[in-house]
Amino acid sequence: MKKDVINIYDIAEMAKVSIATVSRVVNGSDKVSEKTRKKVMAVIEEVGYTPNVFAQGLGLNTMHTVGILVPTISDIYMSNAVYYLQEKLRTYGYDCILGCSGFELEGKQRHVNMLLSKHVDALILVGSTYAGNGEHVQDTDYIREAAQNVPVCVVNGNVLGENIYCTVNDDVKAVYDATSKLIEYGHERILYLTDSQSYSAIKKRKGYEQALEDRDIPVRPELEMHVVNHMHAVRDQLLECKVAFDAVVASNDEIAVGALKYAFKKELLVPEQLSIVGYNNSSVAIACEPELTSIDNHVVDMCYRTVERLISVIENKETDLEHKVVIACDLISRGTTEF
């Protein structure tokens, strides 16, 4: 079944040169006469020779591969990010190897080690879940440890440490602006809904609270609700709770759609009686009716910037890059708000 694999010796023999010469041709060395190069290339093309990556890796200790880790790929945000990351990496000649770590520390550590053991040239962690919640700094120690071996990038999270490069959204400002708009339009009882305590969730809440404080509106704890990340669950939770509210800021679009379903059930007019702002500007934001006003976090930019910086670290060994780059967000206005 298996095709017999041909190696550098075969090529050398067929082209009547030494393996060193073949190697030079393959690696584009300029110390080869044009004539020999042509001769060798002809043979290579003819038999379709590809260098054995293991042997290459053994000597060079690299495979031109970067490891991408996400908590779960089964999430629109993550899968988009992975798509753009790998697309950009390809243009630089890097392939990627994927890991889904789950949200628990143990899984994260195991997967980081798995990727490191494959000798990836770098590690990209996608999602603020990798940034811990700021309370237990030691929860991100495994990242700093990994960074001793290869450069580590964190997309949408901030982790301090040498050889770690972060790209984050300006979540505080985005939510601050959205909340401010809601206040401008007369809303005072604004509900903040989130499903996590991650780095970015915390920043979003901060933006929410700051907007209220700046307008001297009290921040009420009962208006900061923790929910399960599922549309129906959010809807039901809202139906059961007794607090009054006239607007919702959600930490992702699914949650926001859950709020929309709540309004539908209660026969509230949207946006007149209930305004809703989502986050991520994903496809569910336009699947619903009215369509969701949502904050676009520019995943494409984030990913491209991340890869560009990473490449400059890998190839130029630049180590004095800014450790954190901030990407602005956009408010995309649709039918669930008056603005």
Partner DNA sequence: TTGTAGGCGTTATCAT
Partner DNA sequence: ATGATAACGCCTACAA
Residues at the interface with DNA (CB under 7 A) = 5, 7-9, 16-21, 23-24, 26-27, 30-33, 35-36, 49-52, 54-56, 58-60
Q: Select 78 or 225, whichever has its Cβ closest to a copy of itself.
A: 78
**Binding site partner of 103, from DNA, a copy of itself, none, Cβ cut-off 5-8 A by kind:** none
Nearer to DNA, 55 or 287 (CB): 55
Instruction: Output the smallest distance, CB 94 to DNA, in A.
Output: 16
Name which of a copy of itself, DNA, none residue 180 binds, using a CB cut-off of 5 to 8 Å depending on partner kind.
Answer: none
Question: Closer to a copy of itself at the Cβ: 130 or 176?
Answer: 130
CA distances from 313 to 129, 221, 262 (A): 24, 44, 48
- From the list DNA, a copy of itself, none, which binds 311 (C-beta under 5 to 8 Å, kind-based)? none
Q: How far is the CB of 146 from a copy of itself (least distance, A)?
A: 10
Bridge-based pairing state of the strands 247-250 and 275-279:
parallel
Instruction: Tell me whether residue 18 or residue 72 sits nearer to DNA (CB atom).
Output: 18
**Angstrom distance (rounded) from CA 302 to CA 78:** 12
The smaller minimum CB distance to a copy of itself, of residues 173 and 230, is found at 230
How many Cβ atoms from other residues are within 10 Å of residue 108's Cβ?
Answer: 23
Q: Shortest Cβ distance from residue 23 to DNA (Å)?
A: 3
Closer residue to DNA (CB): 21 or 297? 21
- The answer to whether residues 192 and 208 touch, using CB atoms and an 8 Å cutoff, is yes
Q: Tokens 């002809």 label which residue? A: 42
Give CA–CA dist 169/315, Å, rounded: 26
Cβ at position 17, least distance to DNA in Å? 4
C-beta of 36 vs 56, nearer to a copy of itself: 56
CB-count exposure of residue 51 (10 Å: 0-12, 13-18, 19+): middle
As given in the structure block, the two tokens for residue 89 are 């990496």
The entry of a copy of itself, DNA, none that residue 20 binds, CB within 5 to 8 Å by partner kind: DNA
Footprint on this chain of a copy of itself (rule: CB under 8 A): 1-3, 50, 52-55, 57-58, 61, 63, 65, 68, 72-76, 78-80, 82-84, 86-87, 95-100, 113-114, 117-119, 148-149, 163, 231-232, 254, 257, 260-261, 264, 283-284, 286-289
What are 95's strand-pairing partners? Answer: 65
Q: How far is the CB of 114 from DNA (least distance, A)?
A: 16
How many angstroms separate the Cα of 263 from the Cα of each of 183, 285, 321?
Answer: 19, 15, 47
H runs (alpha helix) in the chain: 8-15, 19-26, 34-47, 53-60, 76-91, 105-117, 141-146, 171-184, 199-214, 231-240, 253-265, 283-287, 299-316
Cα–Cα dist 161/85, whole Å: 22
Q: Least Å distance between CB 18 and a copy of itself?
A: 21
